[in-house]
Amino acid sequence: MKTTPADVALIIGLALIIGTLYARYWSPNAAPPTHALIRVDDAPARRVPLHVNDRIVVTGRLGDSVLEVRDGRIRFASSPCRRKVCIRSGWMHDAHDATACLPNRVTLSLAAADPHYDGVSQ
Amino acid sequence: MTRRIHLHAGPRDHWIAGFAALAIVIHILEAGVPTPIPGIKPGLANVITLVVLLRHDLLAAIWVQLLRVLVGSVLIGSFLTPTFLLSLSGALCSLAILALLIGWNRLLPPARVGPIGLGVAAACAHMGGQFFVAYTAFIPHPGLLTLLPVLLTAAMLFGALTGWLAGALCLRLDNNPDAAVPAR
């Protein structure tokens, strides 16, 4: 089965489109996050800018969780939970990264400038 | 008084049903094969659609494709589920692009798109349509877009495969006196 010139043109065109999509969605730091969303229990999310180094204390069901913002990244520095899964997940730095301290009912997610959604499940 | 309506299935209806049955069997067999990434499957049932398109006409290909989606989903049990809607939107998009390319081939026979081009275009349109519906209706999360180029790459590869198979099958059928083409 031979390809015609039109086949080749069509395949090259599609490959270019797909290549552009790879460049757009697979290049690192395509859209750096601008702020973090911190939620405690069912309370509305608190927006924390990532360009200001800071330590944020939020009070959950078990006690205070401390979040540390440094150089556009954020992590759980301490939390009163037992297994410290939130602390072990380390620094969050890409848009849509998320972690949580479930025992303390604190969730943390990173968002770019204009999110069109209000929830992320990963 | 009841009025009886008689529906007569002509020879054309019979062979369309035959091709659709072939496509449905392939569709169902494929549904049982596990895939590494959700959304990626060879789509070999489209070989039948392409063969019908190449050896017969667009209308017959539309019938075969839509019957395959409808009956396939009823037999698998996914009728009117999100899976079915994705399958249908993909099928409609691939038919639209095939109609466009067949029109192109009529207008410009020297720059004809062959079976492989048709297969690739149909598969990518199928994936694109499905993805659009999945993204807008079911999972409007930007993370899903990361999957798009991967899915389209797979669509291109499997589209080339189905197109090649359809072309090879047509060549064999053309050389086989037993596989006479019914009247158009």
Cα–Cα separations (whole angstroms), residue B146 to A36, A38, B82, B103, B164 = 21, 25, 21, 33, 29
> Could you tell me if A51 and A102 lie in one domain?
yes
Nearest neighbour of B117 by CB, restricted to A11, A15, A96: A11
- The per-residue pLDDT for B34 is 86
Q: How confident is the model at residue B184 (pLDDT cuts 50, 70, 90)?
A: very low
Residue B140: pLDDT over 90: no
In this structure, the answer to whether residues A5 and A60 fall within a common structural domain is no
Are residue A95 and residue A39 in the same domain, yes or no? yes
In the predicted structure, residue B46 carries a pLDDT above the cut 50: yes
pLDDT digits (tens, 9 = 90+) for A63-112: 999 999 998 899 999 999 999 999 999 999 887 788 999 999 999 998 87
Residue B121 has pLDDT above 90, yes or no: yes
Higher-scoring residue by pLDDT: A52, A30: A52
C-alpha A62, offset from chain centre: 25
Domain span at residue A16 reads 1-30
Burial of A31 (0-12, 13-18, 19+ CB in 10 A): middle
Please check whether residue B3 touches A, CB under 8 A. Answer: no
Instruction: List the structure tokens of B38.
Output: 């959700």
Dist. CA A8–CA B53, nearest whole Å: 20
Clarify whether residues A42 and A89 are in a common domain. Answer: yes
Q: Cα distance from A20 to chain B (closest Cα, Å)?
A: 9
Give the integer Cα–Cα distance in Å for A4 and B164.
Answer: 12
In this structure, the answer to whether residues A66 and A48 fall within a common structural domain is yes
Domains identified in chain B and CATH numbers = 11-174 (1.10.1760)
Q: What is the pLDDT of residue B119?
A: 96
Contact A29, A94 (CB under 8 A): yes
pLDDT tens across B50-106, in order?
999 999 999 999 999 999 999 999 999 999 999 999 999 999 999 999 999 999 999
pTM of the model: 0.71
- Min CA distance, A94 vs chain B (Å)? 11
What CATH number is associated with residue A78?
2.60.320.10
Are residues A26 and A45 part of one domain?
no
Which residues of A are less than 8 Å from B156 in CB distance? 11, 14-15, 18
A10 shares its domain with A49 = no
Rounded CA-CA distance B123/B63 in Å is: 18
Mean pLDDT to the nearest integer, B18-34: 93
* B149 has pLDDT over 80: yes
Q: What integer is the mean pLDDT of A15-25? A: 93
Is A116 among the domain residues?
Answer: no
Residues 6+ apart with CB under 8 A from B39: B127, B130, B131, B134, B147, B151
Contact criterion met (CB below 8 Å) for A111 and A33: yes
Tell me if A6 and B141 make a contact (CB, 8 A cut-off).
no
Share of chain B above pLDDT 70, in %: 96
Query: Does A18 lie in the same domain as A1?
Result: yes
In angstroms, the CA B105 to CA B79 distance is: 35
Give the DSSP H or E segment for B163. helix B147-174
Q: What residue of B is the nearest CA neighbor of A31?
A: B142
Q: Are B87 and B69 in contact (CB under 8 A)?
A: yes
Mean pLDDT, to the nearest integer, of B152-166?
96
A2 touches chain B (CB under 8 A): yes
Cβ of residue B124 closer than 8 Å to a chain A Cβ: yes
Confidence of residue B183 (pLDDT cuts 50, 70, 90): very low
Query: Are A48 and A102 contained in the same domain?
Result: yes
- pLDDT tens per residue across span A54-76: 999 999 999 999 999 998 899 99
Residues A24 and A83 in one domain: no
Tell me the chain B residues in contact with residue A16 when contact means C-beta distances shorter than 8 Å: none
Please give the ipTM for the structure prediction. Answer: 0.85
A50: in domain: yes
What is the residue whose two structure tokens read 């939970």? A81
Cα(A77)–Cα(B47) distance, rounded to whole angstroms?
A: 57
Cβ contact (<8 Å) for A7 and B117?
yes
Please report the DSSP string for B27-72 in residue order: HHHHHTS--SSTT----THHHHHHHHHHHS-HHHHHHHHHHHHHHH
Provide the 3-class DSSP secondary structure of residue A76.
strand
Q: Is the pLDDT of residue B115 over 90?
A: yes
The reply to whether A117 touches chain B by the CB within 8 Å rule is: yes
Tell me how many degrees the CA angle B145-B121-B44 measures, rounded to the nearest 5. Answer: 90
A29, pLDDT greater than 70? no
Residue A43 lies in a domain: yes
Provide the pLDDT for residue A117: 54
Q: What percent of chain B has pLDDT over 90?
A: 74
> 3-state class of B147 per DSSP?
helix
User: Count of domains in chain A?
Assistant: 2
Instruction: Please indicate, yes or no, whether residues A20 and A68 belong to a single structural domain of this protein.
Output: no
B140 touches chain A (CB under 8 A): yes
A-B contacts at Cβ under 8 angstroms = 70
Calculate mean pLDDT across residues A51-56.
91
**Considering CB atoms only, which of A1, A10, A122 is closest to B168?**
A1
Q: Domain check: are A13 and A45 in the same one?
A: no
Residue A12 within any structural domain of the chain: yes
The two beta strands, A106-111 and A46-49, are unpaired
Q: Which residue has the higher pLDDT, A26 or A56?
A: A56
Q: Does A27 touch chain B (CB under 8 A)?
A: no
Q: Do A21 and B140 touch (CB under 8 A)?
A: no
Does residue A117 sit within a domain? no
Task: Please give the residue that has the higher pLDDT: either A42 or A59.
Answer: A59
- B63-68 long-range contacts (CB < 8 A, ≥24 apart) are B63/B16, B63/B20, B64/B16, B64/B19, B64/B20, B64/B23, B65/B23, B65/B91, B65/B94, B65/B95, B66/B91, B66/B95, B67/B16, B67/B17, B67/B20, B67/B23, B67/B24, B68/B20, B68/B23, B68/B24, B68/B27
Give CA separation, A21 vs A24, A111, B148, B183, in Å. 5, 21, 8, 45
For B77, other C-beta atoms within 10 Å of its C-beta total 10
Mean pLDDT of chain A: 87
Cβ–Cβ under 8 Å, residues A103 and A82? yes
